[in-house]
Amino acid sequence: MIIKKAEFIISAVEPSQYPETGWPEVALVGRSNVGKSSLINTLTNRKSLAKVGATPGKTRLINFFNINDKLMLVDLPGYGYAKVSKEEKKSWGALAETYLNTRDNLGLILLLADIRHEPTDDDVTMVNYIRASGRKMAVVATKADKIGRGEYNKQIALIRKVLSLTDDIPVIPFSSVKRTGIDEVWSTIESILNLE
C-alpha cells in the first residue's frame, strides 16, 4: 500500500462520535504496551500519528485514522494492564466492547501479541471472543527485533498453539524498530478487505 494520506480523525468514546465514512475498518487489539500505536505509525510511515507511550495505558480512547480516504485504522485501548483501577478496566471493556460488538464496517481485527512471550489469558479470551463474533482476524507478532530470526518459528508456533489458531489465520512477525513485516501486514489487510 502506498500511503498518500494518513490523518487522525477523532478520539471517540461513544458510537455517536464514530466517523460515518462507511470505509472498511481495521481495528488493533492487544495488551497494553504491545505496540499497537507504534504499528500505526510504522504502517503509515509517520513518526507520531498515534501516541506511543513508555508507560502502558497510553491509548485510552478509540482513535480513528484515515488512510488514503479508503480505509480506517482504529486504535483501541490496550487491556491487561494491572495498574489501572477496576473502574478503568470496566471502562475499557465498555469502550472496546461497544465498538467491536456494534461496528458494521469493521472488516478485520488485528490482534497484536509480543513475539517473545506466551500469549496471556486475556489474549486467549480476546481471540475466543473474536472467533465467536465471526469477525475476520489476523495476528501480528510484535517486537520481533527483540529476538533472533532463528527463533521466529518457535515463537510463532507457541502463539498459534496457545491461541488455538487455525492455519487460515496469518501470524505475521513485525517490528516497528527494524520496520519488518510492513508489506506483509498491508497485503494481509488488502486481501482480507478486498482492496485492490
Ligand X SMILES: Nc1nc2c(ncn2[C@@H]2O[C@H](COP(=O)(O)OP(=O)(O)OP(=O)(O)O)[C@@H](O)[C@H]2O)c(=O)[nH]1
Which parts of this chain interact with ligand X (CB under 6 A)? 30, 32-38, 52-54, 56-59, 77-78, 142-143, 145-146, 175-177
Packing angle, helices 182-192 and 36-44, rounded to 10: 90
Nearest residue (CB) to ligand X, 52 versus 95: 52
Asked whether position 176 contacts Mg ion by CB under 5 A, the answer is no
Nearest residue (CB) to Mg ion, 59 versus 155: 59
Q: Segment near Mg ion (CB under 5 A), from 55-63, 85-93, 154-162, 185-193?
A: 55-63
Q: How many CB atoms lie within 10 A of CB 97?
A: 11
Residue selected from 18, 25, 26, 37 as contacting Mg ion according to rule CB under 5 A = 37
- Closest by CA to 28, choosing from 63, 68, 66, 71, is 63
Q: How many CA atoms lie within 13 A of 66 on its CB side?
A: 13
Q: Pick one of Mg ion, ligand X, none as the site partner of residue 66 (Cβ within 5 to 8 A by kind).
A: none
C-alpha cell at 17: 462520535
Nearest residue (CB) to Mg ion, 31 versus 36: 36
First to last CA, the chain: 9
